[in-house]
Structure 1
Amino acid sequence: MAEAAPDWDAIHAEYRAGQLSNVMLGKKYGVTEGAIRKRAKAEGWQKDLADAVRQQVKEKLVRDEVRAPNARDREIVEAAATTGADVVRRHRRDISKGQDIVSMLFGQLEEAASNRAELEDAIEEETKNDETTRRRTQLMRLVSLASHAGVLRDLSAAMKNLIPLERQAYNLDEQEHEEPYEERLRRLLGQE
């Protein structure tokens, strides 16, 4: 039985909508990602409807939230504001959790640094009967100043990201960033 030719018109239409990756389009229509990429390049395909689709999705979500196809503007704005407020509250909780974790780690680092001599003595005692010095060397490296400096650098970087996010989430600063809060949060969390 002969294999059916791919429906390139349907693939092109979905490509223009920009909702699926080339890999997902290939799986859906039984062609390779490379074939889609080559055809798109050869025919000059553009994902020119992606913004319109995203806008339509937003509008549908807002309309669905108020559950009325002819909802008044006030109801639409209220539903969108409620959704936005929920997102900001969730971000504030996440930022607070991140700050709590960083503070806890700072405390642990401070304790380890202030008790370094005791930790080194405990490592010496624990590893005195080892046949090689490998384990002792690794444990000593963990409590070394260089290790503490690296942890401190990483924790400082985390705080450097968290503090501006919190200030932005609570609108404490003038808008210095052209990038919206949600996009900046996604970028800093690596979720783009």
Structure 2
Amino acid sequence: MAKRHDWELIEREYRTGRFSLAQLEARHGVNRSNISRRAKKYGWTKDLSGRVRERTQEKITRTSLPPEAQAAYEDQDEAVIEFAANENAAVVKGHRKSLERWRTIAERYAELLEDQVKAGTIKVDVGDGRAVEIDVPLEYVGKCLGHGTQTLERIVKMERQNYGLDLKVDEEKAPEAELTDDELEARIAKLTQQVGSEQ
């Protein structure tokens, strides 16, 4: 007997724009091509994605409001939007924690370089467990400055995206606003990997 699928739930989750076809396939055990065909056949659209994004932003900022202001937000959203917004907010909060960590590392890196330049010397391993002190090479300083500023530029860019500081009013001109969480995670992982390989 063929397994019955909850197509109403799949459609609701599809409409939030929160899940890719691959994620819906994994969540419900339905081949993504079947989901895609059904979406086309019945004209499913991701018509709730804008509302989910708005609700996510509300959830992120709500925690900074006093309790009486928070109460004004209650009892006004459907359960599916609330669920998707909760998940999105958790992802964004995780990103923010990671960004804080990378900012701290970048600041320590800058302080270390600053101390080395101020001292005018660095210790260099010359093999067989011996280290000698040499003058700070200008090429070394240049490379460190390049890596440090590039890292800071990436961190600032990701922070601005994460805190919604670069959102454009016209979303058609801002395709990055339509990124799924998986796509955003992939971008952050790629940038993090690049930063790690350059240090």
TM-score normalised over the length of structure 2: 0.44
Bigger proportion of residues as helix: 1
Give the number of the structure with larger relative contact order, counting CA–CA contacts within 8 Å between residues 6 or more apart. Answer: 2
Structure number, greater radius of gyration = 1
Bigger proportion of residues as strand: 2
